[in-house]
């Protein structure tokens, strides 16, 4: 049976933080604020995978009050989501995701992100879609106050 899940996340852009998106460090004047490395793209994908399993969100597995996850690379969250899939005898079919932000330019980093995400989930990069768009300068994203991500995951699970 094919199951689908969705994920959404947003983090604030602040000074004095590294910008990590899809496991790739991107040179920028600001980075995303959060307890972990605040990789908004990996967080949305993690929730999509967990959602396809009927599980709760990433925060249930990795509470932001737990010092173990302070500045943690979000790759470990994805690895855990993939482990939850295998544990049920399932297989991730594909992932698709969109980043929404005004700056910086994402295009040069897309292949790197696909590679990092695919590696964390044990997939071929061709099964991971990463796209980027702006918010046409509207709202908090348009003002550059944060970056959002949405994702879907398709997972094959035994009946």
Binding-site member from 3, 7, 9, 123 for Mg ion (CB under 5 A)? 9
Instruction: Indicate whether 17 belongs to the interface with Mg ion (CB under 5 A).
Output: no
The encoded tokens of residue 9 equal 């996340």
Tell me whether residue 78 or residue 90 sits nearer to Mg ion (CB atom): 78
Asked if 37 is part of the footprint of Mg ion (rule: CB under 5 A), the reply reads no
For the CB of residue 106, give the shortest distance to Mg ion in the complex, in Å: 18
Q: Which of 42, 40, 44, 52 is nearest to 5 (CA)?
A: 52
| Interatomic CA distance for residues 134 and 148, integer angstroms | 10
Helices 40-52 and 110-121, interaxial angle, to 10°? 40
Identify which of residues 148 and 155 has a Cβ nearer to Mg ion in the complex.
148
Nearer to Mg ion, 34 or 90 (CB): 34
Q: Is the peptide bond before 104 cis (omega within 30 degrees of 0)?
A: yes
In the structure, how many helices (H) and strands (E) does the chain have?
Answer: 5, 7
Q: Among 120, 80, 76, 72, which residue's Cα sits nearest to residue 97?
A: 120
CB of 83 to Mg ion, least distance (A): 19
Q: Is 43 in the site for Mg ion (CB under 5 A)?
A: yes
Give the interface size with Mg ion as a residue count (CB under 5 A): 2
The least CB distance from residue 6 to Mg ion, in Å, is 15
**In the complex with Mg ion, which residue's Cβ is closer, 90 or 116?**
116
Tell me how far apart the alpha carbons of residues 52 and 78 are, in angstroms, rounded to a whole number. Answer: 14
What is the smallest separation between the CB atom of 64 and Mg ion, expressed in angstroms? Answer: 8
Which residues here bind Mg ion, judged by CB under 5 A? 9, 43
């Amino acid at each position: 049976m094919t199951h689908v899940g969705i994920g959404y996340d947003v983090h604030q852009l602040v000074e004095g933080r590294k910008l990590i998106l899809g496991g790739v460090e991107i040179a920028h004047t600001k980075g995303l604020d959060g307890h972990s490395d605040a990789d908004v793209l990996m967080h949305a994908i993690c929730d999509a995978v967990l959602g396809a399993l009927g599980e709760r969100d990433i925060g249930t597995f990795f509470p932001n009050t737990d010092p173990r996850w302070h500045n943690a690379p979000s790759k470990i969250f994805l690895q855990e989501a993939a482990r939850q899939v295998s544990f049920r005898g399932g297989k991730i079919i594909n992932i698709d995701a969109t980043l929404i932000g005004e700056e910086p330019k994402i295009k040069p980093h897309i292949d790197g992100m696909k590679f990092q995400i695919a590696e964390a989930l044990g997939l071929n990069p061709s099964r991971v879609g990463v796209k980027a768009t702006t918010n046409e300068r509207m709202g908090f994203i348009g003002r550059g106050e944060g970056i959002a991500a949405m994702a879907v995951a398709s997972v094959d699970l035994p009946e």
